[in-house]
Amino acid sequence: MSDSVKNSGALLKDADALFQDRNYDEALPVYDKTFQKAREEFNRPVEVEALSQLARLNLIAGNVETGRDFLEKARERASESEPLGWSRFLGVEGRFEWKAGNLETARETFEQMFGYCVEHSLWGRAVDAAHMVAIVAEGIEDQIKWTHKGIEMAEAHGSNQWLGPLWNNLGGVYYENKQFDSSLNCYLKAREYHWQYSSESSKLFADYHVGMTYRLVGKLDEAAKWLRPVLAWAERVENHSAIGQSCEDLGEIEIARGNKSAGIELLKRAREEYRLENFEKTLPHVWENINKRIEQLCG
């Protein structure tokens, strides 16, 4: 069926499928068509959902002000009496607050979304809300509590596509707190679900996280077994971030084995890949760390 004869609800499903696969450039015009069709049909909930997603896509692309314009249009049309539109709006509003650094406000928004979605049996969106509360929460205990709340809800209500991101998030919490054994266990669980439900990019990074964490727990041979295929895969799909990260870890493995020269070359390649991915601006701490490490080794 062509887009011209689809109703706004069908177009929204198409746009959401593209968004879930991270095909953001393709999703944008479909959300725009959804918005226009919903206006013609006087379908306000779908209109709000499409506007909210147009806001979110612009936020992802770094077009924050354009995104805010779409979010304000969604706010004008959103109503608490229309659960699908209202819950989608809250999820995007919270993300704008999060990205602006307003973590306390973002947490309040995501907790409001969680309670609202539970009340209206929107289980997948409740899981999303729990996931986001865990991301903006302060303190490891709170982050773990909310992530487990999301995992339990996803398992109870069949939202299995959320289990990869949730276990991945929990792995990140343990990683940040240098609890690498626990982090590895979570990343292995995350990989299991990413390989069932997620996009190729998510599968690639799921494998990378396993290899990275094997290195951090000191299992260098096991780490290399994971990281070498990740590097080859990342090269095939030309993912500069994944190439850089796997090169950095493989470089550290070579250095740990006493092959300093080979390790430095891999770190320099990682730096070049980070440059191509514009890490100097988007992830300045990663950019600074790789430069400091190379300087330390070559100094």
Domain segments of the chain as ranges: 199-299
Residue 2 has pLDDT above 80, yes or no: no
Please, are residues 203 and 195 in contact by the beta-carbon 8 Å criterion? yes
Nearest to 146 by CA among 168, 170, 178: 170
Amino acid at 197: Y
The Cα–Cα gap between 2 and 221 comes to 52
User: Would you state the pLDDT for residue 151?
Assistant: 95
Local structure of residue 161 (DSSP, 8 states): G
Class (C level, CATH) for 199-299: mainly alpha
Closest of 43, 106, 34 to residue 70, by C-alpha: 34
pLDDT tens, 227-275?
A: 999 999 999 999 999 999 999 999 999 999 999 999 999 999 999 999 9
Residue 21 is predicted with a pLDDT of: 80
CA–CA distances in Å: residue 7 to residues 31, 37, 42, 45, 230? 12, 7, 11, 13, 41
Share of the chain above pLDDT 90, in %: 91
Provide the pLDDT confidence category of residue 1 given band limits of 50, 70 and 90. low
The confidence score (pLDDT) of residue 23 equals: 87
Question: Tens digits of per-residue pLDDT, 203-235?
Answer: 999 999 999 999 999 999 999 999 999 999 999
pLDDT at 34 over 80: yes
Residue 247 has a pLDDT of 98
CB 11 within 8 A of CB 33: yes
% of the chain residues with pLDDT over 70? 99
Q: What is the pTM (predicted TM-score) of this model? A: 0.83
The answer to whether the beta carbons of residues 68 and 106 sit under 8 Å apart is: no
Please work out, in degrees rounded to the nearest 5, the angle formed at the alpha carbon of residue 61 by the alpha carbons of 58 and 67: 20
**pLDDT per residue over 119-156, tens digit each?**
999 999 999 999 999 999 988 999 999 999 999 999 99
| Calpha distance 293→35 (Å, rounded) | 49
